Amino acid sequence: MKTMITTDMVYDRLKTVMDPELHVDIVSLGLIYKIEVIEEVIVVTMTLTTPGCPLAPEIDRLVRQAIKPLGEYKIELELVWDPAWSKNLMSEEAKLKLGMI
């Protein structure tokens, strides 16, 4: 029997994914907009710091790799640009680490 996972479990896994350039996790950066667990599917709605981010394929790979240990779920990543990412979405810890406060 498959263990049911929660959105909190997915968030915890995504906190291990570091932005390759900024070296801050993608949750603290405010890149994760929504997580849904719908039966056998995990849907992650997220953005990137810029639309033309050259690291998009790497971040996609890292997100999937982080979620995979939760079980045999289909992982759907929805990359959105509305609302646009801004520094206001970052946690205070991320801003501090990046010298923004």
The whole-model pTM stands at 0.92
Q: Tell me if 17 is assigned to some domain.
A: yes
Give the tens place of pLDDT for each residue, 21-53: 999 999 999 999 999 999 899 999 999 998 888
Question: Is residue 54 a part of any domain in this protein?
Answer: yes
Please state the domain count of the chain.
1
Domain that holds residue 35: 7-92
Is residue 101 a part of any domain in this protein? no
Give residue-wise pLDDT tens across range 51-84.
888 999 999 999 999 999 999 999 999 999 999 9
DSSP 48-95: -SSTT-TTHHHHHHHHHHHHGGG-S-EEEEEE--SSPP-GGGS-HHHH
CATH of the domain at 49: 3.30.300.130
